[in-house]
Amino acid sequence: MKLSKIALSSALEDKTFLLLLLLVSLAFLWVLWPFFGAVFWGAIFALMFSPLFLRLLARMPKKRTLAALLTVSIILVLVILPVGFISALLAQESVSVYKRVESGELSVGRYFQQIYDALPAWSSGLLERSGLNNLGLIQARIAESLTKGSQFLATQALNIGQNAFDFFVSFFIMLYLLFFFLRDGAALSRRIREAIPMDAEIKRNLFSKFTTVIRATVKGNIVVAMLQGALGGLIFWILGIHAPVLWGTLMAFLSLLPAVGAALVWIPVAIYFLATGAIWQGVVLIAFGVLVIGLVDNILRPVLVGKDTKMPDYVVLVSTIGGMSLFGLNGFVIGPVIAAMFMAAWGIFAKARQDEPVLPPPA
């Protein structure tokens, strides 16, 4: 009787402590939530550049602080400053496009009318049979979408300017956490692994998969998207198209969605060139889009991602859109990572079930 009371008391204490642990963890996450983006990108950069940190640490043993500072400086020069410069250009061009649309200088309806007038007779008849010959309605919707998009970008640029203090606070928090994640990340990761009540082999597989998926997602999706956007903006600038940084950024975002891609931007522009008599511009843009921008994804993504972590395109598409709707721009990384971890966890579970010994039926 005494032993059962002791066991009952011990079980109650364990449950109470687990409840307290859960509440404290949720409260801590709630406190960190206003700076979720800073914490998230600090961890992402630390995970991505940990090989560079380890290489510097090998050249200067017992100087972890100096190696971490050098790594943060390299990240600041090679990644963060160029992104900040491009963001400033993007905000400037977004405001410019919005003003041109508002003043009527940039008329989507006029461009669409020029394309429709240049179409051959058979295509015009096909559009009429399909019910797509209502140019007024189509022009109004395209103009409205472009106006809203430009207005949204201009508003975001204005908000960033008004909330500059919050932005700089989050930026310095990210750099601060990045330094400590690099310097003390190995010890922190080891403590987290030891605290998780799970089989050691499963923990090792999950953490290894998590690290691999993070790096593959950032390299395979973000790097390829940035490269496609840069190439698209470059060819737009060469052809004299207004706001090349804006269109290049749009192509970069669309490149994150494998089912659509940057072609949604450069194909309509190429069609407009061909329809308005700018034949060589249209041919150059199509050739560059197919042979350069299009092949970047097919060649670089398998090399950067690898076969083991590559997910089906429909999973990447759905998880990216879902992650973006929940977490904003951070969802471009969070969505595919959650999807990959979901598939990895179920894969480990299925493998464990297959490895279980089959017991003979009872006599």
pLDDT digits (tens, 9 = 90+) for 130-167: 555 555 555 566 556 555 555 555 555 555 555 556 77
Q: Which structure tokens are listed for 2?
A: 């005494």
Domain positions in the chain: 33-183, 199-350
Residue 325 or 54, more confident: 54
Phi, psi of 187 (to 5 degrees): -65, -40
DSSP state of 29: H
Q: Pick the closest to residue 258 from 211, 305, 328, 197 (CA basis).
A: 305
Instruction: Judge contact between 114 and 272, C-beta under 8 A.
Output: yes
Q: Which structure tokens are listed for 336?
A: 């595919």
Residue 176 or 329, more confident: 176
Q: What is the C-alpha separation between 46 and 54, in angstroms, rounded?
A: 11
Average confidence (pLDDT) over 108-133: 57
Average confidence (pLDDT) over 78-84: 79
Average pLDDT, the chain: 74
Q: Pick the closest to residue 340 from 323, 359, 362, 353 (CA basis).
A: 323
Q: Which structure tokens are listed for 18?
A: 């687990």
Average confidence (pLDDT) over 79-96: 74
Q: Pick the closest to residue 199 from 77, 36, 351, 45 (CA basis).
A: 351
Q: Which amino acid is at 217?
A: T
Q: Where are the alpha helices (DSSP H) in the chain?
A: 2-32, 36-48, 50-59, 64-75, 81-103, 108-118, 121-130, 135-162, 164-195, 200-217, 224-238, 244-255, 263-275, 279-288, 294-305, 313-327, 331-355
Q: What is the pLDDT of residue 80?
A: 79
